[in-house]
Amino acid sequence: MKKYLTLCAAGLIALAMTACEKTGTIEGEVRDAFTDKALEMPTVWMDSTIFSTLKEKYKYKQELRKGQFKFEKVPVGNYRIIAGRSKYIKSRNSVSTTEENPNAKLTLYIYSDQIDPGMYVPGGDLGPKKISNEWVIWSTQCDQSIAGYRLAFPQQDGSMKVPPKADKKKGKKGKKGKKAAAAAAAPAGKMTPLPAPRVIEGKFEVFYRNAASVTTPLVAKTFPAKEDKVANHKDCKGFDADERGIFADKDNGKDLTVTYIAENLFKISGELLKGKQIIQFSQDGKTLQTYYFESK
């Protein structure tokens, strides 16, 4: 009997603690990352909880038409809230509430799954405006030197030639190998100069859509661009017989701010260096892409 009363008392205490648990409201709006417009009928849920707009008893279905959601009586704590929509890329965000601040109001951003990888100008009613990487054909693969561009590139039959890949089978000699090397080294046709850098005035703010899922942080840096001898950058591959090129001044680089927007989509912002520069996006120390800019 005594054991039974003890169990009952413990149950009542647990029930009382649950009843007294502080709760709050987590609400907000789901918007298109590029147009900043509210999206009709999004799906929102909180990971590992009962809170979801797909629940049959969810009572704010009409507000979903305006992109709005609301979860009530949410125990205070740390949560992961996820937003999505048909043919859109999801976003995953963390939200924390406390007894002092049990409520939270959020704006969640998602974007069309038709957005290709690359750099974009955010905002605007017309949707995403991609910043074309005009310099990719002239770019070279560098390690310690960060990044490099050829000053000119051979053009043949009106189309740009892709830089030849280094032969992985080192030490293999023969007539065919010598002929291939000679063909690769000899520029054919007209030499097309490196396009001028993209000029920007004021604060730098763009979106960057990564090509693959990011498991480690995306890093964005900008480096002064300087002309130098190719011989001083032997770690760069793709210069062929070029004597000079454009390189990143790695000792004077500057970090840019990277902000998560949605899965594989980031806002890159900050004050650029004055003059011509190479903007590098990297992950795990490996360059993903570079752009050639000039800040007035």
153-188 pLDDT tens trace: 887 555 554 554 444 444 444 444 444 444 444 445
- pTM across the whole model: 0.81
* Rounded CA separation 247/277 (Å): 9
Mean pLDDT of the chain, nearest integer? 86
Range 22-112: architecture per CATH? Sandwich (2.60)
Backbone angles phi, psi at 17, to 5 degrees: -65, -40
Condensed to tens digits (0 to 9), the pLDDT of residues 232-253 reads 999 999 998 899 999 999 999 9
Please report how many Cα atoms fall inside a 13 Å half-sphere around the Cα of residue 73, on the Cβ side.
5
Q: Which of residues 209 and 186 earns the better pLDDT score?
A: 209
Q: What is the DSSP letter of 65?
A: G
Q: What does the pLDDT average to over 254-281? A: 97
Give the range among 161-165, 212-216, 223-227 with minimum mean pLDDT.
Answer: 161-165
According to DSSP, the residues that pair with 257 across neighbouring strands are 269
pLDDT of residue 19: 52
Domain edges within the chain: 22-112, 118-162+188-295
pLDDT of residue 157: 54
E-state strands within 85-217? 88-89, 91-96, 104-112, 118-121, 129-131, 139-140, 148-150, 152-156, 159-160, 191-193, 198-200, 204-209
* Rounded CA separation 152/136 (Å): 12
pLDDT of residue 14: 44
276: pLDDT strictly greater than 70? yes
